[in-house]
Structure 1
């Protein structure tokens, strides 16, 4: 956070991926740090102390970093990689996305259910549409996402999406503009890449709805 209490602009801060060598905004990367015992730890929130090691938020890139032990090279020391490192990244991203989505709901920035979501979309209040990855394709197609980039994600299952709304299942959810919504979008983007949905999403790039 900045001194003014606002989140740092993670889209303009640039870091280099240890796998691809590409430089991009941290919103499209996963940060890792080396713990006191030399164990590599995912830092999806970007808050842990220590020198950051950055990997593009795609499962293929993470797997390459593990297979070639690029973390040791980046850290300039021998490090230990947990055997479930890639799965740990996915699990932490999912938990963070769920928590932020729940906070957005409590702040009045998120609604769930077809009728409420449709109402927000028609009124132009919604800037982000989330739909369950395992929901009916026909049902989901009846709702048109907001225009622009990064406005539509199908990265969570109905049960995962439901957890943030205190329900067993949720197929449709919408978010209004706000700081929490920006963070939800960032997490959804990175989780899409790690889960390789629709082939994954390159860092810094999102789907565009016309």
Structure 2
């Protein structure tokens, strides 16, 4: 399994992380490039022109690359690294996950709410269970994620998950197989690395107010 949340495929293009020196599939890496002013720019969509510089989707590795001048070394020229680069990357990846789930919802491939998610799980329509990291643990354990890779995502807060569905908050959601699911799983795995924890079944963390239900 790669950091990007899928099985490693020998046909996947690989790139070397400038912080770890290890090569891995691009799905588990954050691409950076240089802007017109030689400032390091996160290329979350992987579409910006210019030579790509890759760092593992891990806050510690991005901080290491920024502090030790690894971006300049990789670019072979002086560069400008913005303050709080890892925070910026986290915000951008968070928004990317929200946007992808929203797109899946509009395509009919995502639902939210306990009863709808439970129905999808019962019928086998759900390939991935998504639960808010700050949701009630008691309520979340009543639903069981589908088996297989990428069956559970628990890295978004209730407020963030709610944004994907045009709601104030959401605790439970599900994705159907196909469509945008693979991309959601990959980006959510990156976000987990950037937030310093792995997406687990419990999906919780110690901070924040517990969100009790979908609204």
The answer to whether TM tops 0.5 is yes
SS in 1 for 2:134: coil
Aligned-pair CA distance for 1:168:
0.7
Aligned to 1:103: 103
1:133 aligns with 2:126: no
Aligned-pair CA distance for 1:179:
3.0
**C-alpha distance in 2 between matches for 1:147 and 1:131:** 16
Instruction: Give runs of aligned pairs for residues 5-84 of structure 1, distance below 5 A.
Output: 12-84=12-84
SS in 1 for 2:180: helix
The runs of at least 4 consecutive aligned structure 1 residues that moved more than 4 Å come to: 206-209
**C-alpha distance in 2 between matches for 1:19 and 1:126:** 37
Instruction: Give runs of aligned pairs for residues 120-199 of structure 1, distance below 5 A.
Output: 120-197=120-197
Q: CA RMSD in A?
A: 1.7
Long gaps (5+) in structure 1: 1-8, 201-205
**C-alpha distance in 2 between matches for 1:39 and 1:68:** 16
Aligned-pair CA distance for 1:181:
1.1
**C-alpha distance in 2 between matches for 1:166 and 1:208:** 25
Long gaps (5+) in structure 2: 1-8, 203-215
Task: Check whether the contact 2:175–2:181 (CA below 8 A) recurs between aligned residues.
Answer: yes
Aligned to 1:5: none
Return the TM-score normalized by structure 1. Answer: 0.88
Task: Check whether the contact 2:154–2:201 (CA below 8 A) recurs between aligned residues.
Answer: no
